[in-house]
């Protein structure tokens, strides 16, 4: 026996529709959580990442003992959380003797683990340790510039994978229109060695230059750290093919009330509301705008000017 369950409130219905798979996808949400043990570095990294991604991230504060991303059985909790919070990116921090200051960045496809990459954090400098002119501090939710430098990102497969994951993580919402005044942050990732990436977050200073294009300057603002590649897991081929499948472009929205014809040309339809003839304002009957008043005013002005002329003469 089956029962059909539909949401009883409009709000619930809208939440469900938001979570449904769409043809064209906009931003991914990130889930930030930590494991059994965390060091001070890891907890501050997670906190700052959360702050940077404020609009599209959810941070869990409790310890999660049964999450082991690289083991076969240890992903069920992660998948459950991903389903509950509708997050398809996750950042899992932990600290063990074997892997100190560990961060696992992962992605989900249909709430199943798609790929994982594990990095170690070194030389971490927190947001608070940078001093800069507060005028240039980046605002929450702005679209960032992402810069990758170094041949490692092209030659080393793990770094290539990391590049893709970092792009996904920092990208934010995918938008069609961008406000040029809202460009104020940049993420800088440089492959300083085949296993190390230097990551930092900068604010943008737009300086006046001779042309329309302002001169860009970077000021180090946010957390900076060195990421040391540890393990990674690439997605299996079939899953990758399915996930990379791009849908055909969204069918153009039909422009309503406009008709194109070879004979008549472009014709538009205008709908008029009902005209209530009793309540229509035909002329303004206020005292000040009466014709007699206007005329008398004009006459007075003329006489005044004539008087002035006479007196001057």
According to CB under 8 A, which residues from 108 to 127 bind another protein?
A: 108-110, 114, 123
The footprint of another protein on residues 39-98 (CB under 8 A) is: 88
| Cβ burial 266-277 (10 Å sphere, 16+ → b, else e) | eeeeeeeeeeee
The footprint of another protein on residues 137-176 (CB under 8 A) is: 143-151, 153-154, 163-164, 167-168, 171, 174-176
Structure tokens at 183: 């460009």
Q: Give the nearer residue to another protein in terms of CB position, either 18 or 135.
A: 18
Coil, helix or strand at residue 306: helix
Q: Give the nearer residue to another protein in terms of CB position, either 30 or 38.
A: 30
Pairing assessment for the beta strands 112-125 and 102-109 based on DSSP bridges: antiparallel
Q: How far is 221 from 71, CA to CA, in rounded Å?
A: 37
Q: Where are the beta strands (DSSP E) in 234-293?
A: 258-261, 265-268
Coil, helix or strand at residue 215: strand
The footprint of another protein on residues 251-280 (CB under 8 A) is: none
Least distance (Å) from another protein to the CB of residue 63? 14
Least distance (Å) from another protein to the CB of residue 182? 7
Least distance (Å) from another protein to the CB of residue 101? 18
Coil, helix or strand at residue 85: helix
231: number of Cβ within 10 Å: 14
Q: How far is 32 from 47, CA to CA, in rounded Å?
A: 9
Least distance (Å) from another protein to the CB of residue 35? 19
Q: Give the nearer residue to another protein in terms of CB position, either 245 or 309.
A: 245
Dihedral angle sign, alpha carbons of residues 38, 41, 42, 48: positive
Structure tokens at 267: 């014709």
Q: Which of 120, 193, 228, 231 binds another protein (CB under 8 A)?
A: 193
Q: Which of 36, 61, 76, 192 binds another protein (CB under 8 A)?
A: 192
| β-pair partners for 282 | none
The piece of 96-104, 128-136, 188-196, 258-266 that touches another protein (CB under 8 A) is 188-196
Q: Give the nearer residue to another protein in terms of CB position, either 95 or 138.
A: 138
Least distance (Å) from another protein to the CB of residue 291? 40
Least distance (Å) from another protein to the CB of residue 114? 6
Least distance (Å) from another protein to the CB of residue 313? 54
Q: Give the nearer residue to another protein in terms of CB position, either 29 or 99.
A: 29
Q: Which of 31, 121, 191, 225 binds another protein (CB under 8 A)?
A: 191
| β-pair partners for 233 | 116
The footprint of another protein on residues 194-233 (CB under 8 A) is: 198, 200, 202, 204, 212-218, 220, 224
The continuous run of DSSP H or E covering 218 comes out as strand 215-233
Coil, helix or strand at residue 206: strand
Q: How far is 124 from 223, CA to CA, in rounded Å?
A: 7
Is residue 19 near another protein by the rule CB under 8 A? yes
């Amino acid at each position: 026996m089956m029962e059909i369950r539909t949401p009883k409130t409009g709000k619930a219905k809208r939440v469900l529709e938001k979570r449904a798979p769409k043809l064209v996808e906009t931003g991914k949400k990130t889930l930030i959580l930590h494991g059994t043990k965390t060091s001070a570095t890891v907890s501050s990294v997670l906190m700052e990442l959360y702050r940077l991604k404020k609009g599209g991230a959810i941070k869990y504060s409790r310890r999660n003992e049964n999450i082991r991303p690289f083991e076969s059985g240890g992903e069920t909790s992660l998948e459950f959380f991903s389903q509950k919070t509708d997050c398809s990116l996750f950042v899992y921090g932990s600290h063990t003797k074997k892997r100190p200051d560990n961060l696992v960045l992962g992605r989900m496809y249909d709430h199943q683990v798609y790929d994982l990459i594990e990095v170690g954090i070194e030389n971490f400098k927190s947001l608070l340790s940078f001093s800069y002119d507060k005028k240039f501090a980046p605002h929450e939710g702005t679209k960032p510039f992402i810069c990758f430098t170094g041949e490692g990102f092209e030659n080393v497969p793990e770094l290539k994978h990391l590049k893709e994951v970092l792009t996904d993580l920092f990208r934010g919402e995918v938008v069609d229109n961008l406000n040029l005044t809202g460009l104020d942050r940049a993420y800088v990732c440089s492959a300083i060695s085949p296993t190390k990436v230097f990551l930092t977050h900068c604010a943008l200073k737009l300086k006046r230059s001779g042309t329309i294009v302002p001169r860009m300057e970077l000021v180090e603002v946010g957390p900076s750290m060195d990421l040391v590649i540890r393990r990674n897991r690439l997605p299996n081929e079939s899953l990758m093919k399915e996930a990379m499948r791009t849908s055909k472009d969204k069918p153009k929205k039909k422009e309503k009330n406009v008709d194109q014809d070879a004979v008549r040309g472009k014709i538009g339809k205008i709908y008029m509301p009902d005209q209530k003839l009793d309540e229509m304002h035909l002329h303004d009957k206020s005292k000040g705008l009466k014709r007699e008043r206007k005329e008398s005013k004009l006459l007075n002005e003329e006489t005044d000017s004539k008087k002035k002329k006479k007196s001057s003469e």
